[in-house]
Amino acid sequence: MTQTQAPPAPGTRVGHFRVAHALSRRVRLKSTLLGDPAFDAVYFQALLEALPGVFEVRINGRGACLVVVHDGRPETWDKVAACLRSLPDEAFAPALCDEAPVTGSDVAVKALVTIASQALPWPARALLGWSMAMGVIVKGVETFFTRGLKVETLDATAISLALVRGRYFTAGSITTLLALGQYLEGQSEERSTALLKGLMRPQVEKVWTVRDGVEVQLPVGEIAPGDLVVCGAGELIPIDGVVAEGEGSVNQSSISGESVPVHIQPGDAVISGSVVEEGRLTITVERVGSETSMARIGRFIDQSLRGKSKTQTKSAALADKLVPVTLGLGGLMLLATRDVNRATSVLTVDFSCAVKLASPVAVRSGMYAAGQAGVLLKGAAALDALQDVDTIVFDKTGTLTTGRIAVTDIIPGEGLTETEVLALAAGAEEHYDHPVARAVVGEARRREIALPPISRVDFIVAHGVAASIDGKHVLVGSHHFVAEDEGVACDHLEQTAAALRGQGKSLLYVAREGRLAGLIALRDDPRPEAAAVLAALKASGIGHIVVLTGDHKDTAQALARALPQVDELHYELKPEDKAAIVARLKGEGRTLAFVGDGVNDAPALVTAHVGICMPKGADLAREAAQILLLHEDLHTLVVARQAAVRTNAIIRQTFGATIGCNSLIMLLATAGMSPVAAALLHNASTIGILGYAAMAASRPLAQRPLAGADAPRRKELC
């Protein structure tokens, strides 16, 4: 039975906050701090939402109000209260957007005031009109002196001219429509933010920790300050602490935004949300769970959403350039006709309004639709870049193949049994989060083989694992790693290895104390949907498909025979080779996307124009990628492409509609249409265009693959 506690009494002080109202599972607090421009509400909300047992957090900066919905447990409220009493320094970093969001009630009030004021006498209409428009006018004047003639300046000029002329309904209509546009954009952003918060928060359930000198895997909830946690290459650090042993390279981009990895050694502090790129760290835990730096993910999400695509930037720049055009036409009309009404009508027709707003509304709605269909886009730039892609590069394992690797054969060396070879490999691989490692460990568990205790493991990215098992040095990895790098003689099993590769199988070499202990053969079948997806990508305009793999030539060619759409095949590659091939393709003028899921794919994911990570990708790969596929189905890759193409098509359509509609209204304005009628037509067309952008871009995306022809004959390159 869930233990609950009495809610805190109204008036209770909790740090800077005062309890205004409380139920057993819901607390509303007040604080002037929430309205402070230097207070980062996005970060603080993410910090509270990261607490176990907290279901929802809502912050109203204008009302200086905070609402926390939780499970009612005493320990949950204690953690919330502790967080409120000890606000981290990061909560006072200036937010990226210093404007209060426009609410639906704001729009409704403006609309009602505009309509109701028409029944009031002149003094009241004037007072209401100027009061409602003052915020827009002040912003326009400020913009003019700080940034020059921009959209805000035109809005302020049109509204001011209408007010000076006594056209309070026109001024109110423009003010209301501006607020409505901001509200529509904010709603799209809010929906996208809510979706991304749930999808992007790192999910670490278990960690390796040292207990009585032995490494054991425990749930994160059982880790306490003072414990020793072990993190290897490709793993996300789930705690805050200090390195006690080991050295490594740590990527902190999700925390600091700095993409250059940091060298970490004993005595250095590490923070949760970082990813170990190379090396192995034993970390003394200082803070766990909700008390860690993981809540910084909220700021990362906010940065991703607020980033603008190339199309959005161009639209905003074009909108600013249209402002002087509209002002100039209004001035020319006044000089030519001496008719203030006609000049006001022309000035009311604002080309830039829909041009500037339709693009972000379409982009955010497109991101939301893609997220619902299983594609997480880290910012608008990813959506924009994917539309331009003409070449797509796949890392083979876990992308074009199922990733459900199965052990098919175990070939023991002299003096060993299959069980002993498998136990050595599984013992070393148990700490490595990789599809091959999971397959080996899974086979050992299926056979109920007890795994030997290990005292040390070193991961050599994309090569293999070195471990100390029962005091003996064990190597598990590729032929290149074991035979060439480590000098273990493997010739006596080479004929058997060649036969297994000819069957399309991958091989793990297992060595102990410098001697080959045996081979483990694994098979990773192509995804059943792979051929149809590649054909669909070709049909969508992607002209070149490349496959990269570290597998032996025979194993790679077996997969390629099943996928005739592949144009170019590279095998027996090292991680740096993959990044070099991606760089070479970029140098040829191609716009390319890279699809991968492993630690060794991170350099290529960063090098490509667009990095795409599979659902079960390593944490480092997820950090490096700009697009995450959320379902184990390659059809979502086609969905991502469809989302990008459709969103950009909608932006072009809204641009054409804006120019066409406003040109027609401008023509009618010069012919004598009244300012009120011009404002109504302009505002109605703007609302229609924004509504179309939001609805068209947020429509569910088709998830069935398109038909497509086979590709030309591929090139095979080692």
Give the residue carrying structure tokens 């793999």. Answer: 549
With H, G, I as helix, E, B as strand and everything else as coil, classify residue 590: coil
- Residue pair 280/233 in contact (Cβ under 8 Å)? The answer is yes
Of the candidates 645, 641, 639, 643, the residue with the CA atom closest to the CA atom of residue 703: 639
Residue written as token pair 């070149």: 544
Pairing type for strands 214-219 and 240-245 reads unpaired
Distance, CA of 510 to CA of 492 (rounded, Å):
14
CA angle 553-555-557, nearest 5°?
A: 65
- The span from the CA of 124 to the CA of 581, in Å, is 71
Query: How many angstroms separate the Cα of 533 from the Cα of each of 83, 149, 417, 556, 566?
Result: 48, 48, 43, 19, 11
Task: Tell me how far apart the alpha carbons of residues 49 and 309 are, in angstroms, rounded to a whole number.
Answer: 29
Q: DSSP letters of 519-538?
A: EEEEE-PBPTTHHHHHHHHH
Place of tokens 């350039």: 321
Question: How many whole angstroms separate alpha carbon 249 and alpha carbon 455?
Answer: 22
Our answer to whether residue 71 is catalytic in this structure is no
How far is residue 406's CA from residue 506's CA, in Å, rounded to a whole number?
Answer: 10
Helices marked H in 39-90: 41-49, 74-85
> CA-to-CA distance for 463 and 317, rounded, in angstroms?
49
Contact between 420 and 506 under an 8 Å Cβ cutoff? The reply is no
CB of 419 within 8 A of CB of 401? Answer: no
Q: Is 249 helix (H, G, I), strand (E, B) or coil?
A: strand
DSSP 8-state assignment for residue 92: G
CA dist list (Å): 224 to 6, 239, 246, 286, 500:
28, 10, 21, 8, 47
d(CA 274, CA 253): 7
Secondary structure element (H or E) that encloses residue 107, with its range: helix 104-116
* CA atoms within 13 Å, Cβ hemisphere of 166: 3
- Contact residues for 320 (Cβ-Cβ < 8 A; gap 6+): 149, 150, 151, 352
Q: Is 495 exposed, middle or buried (0-12, 13-18, 19+ CB in 10 A)?
A: exposed
Instruction: Considering the candidates 155, 240, 320, 395, report the single residue annotated as catalytic.
Output: 395
> Which residues are CB-neighbours of 588 under 8 A, at least 6 positions away?
none
Could you give the residue numbers annotated as active site?
Answer: 395
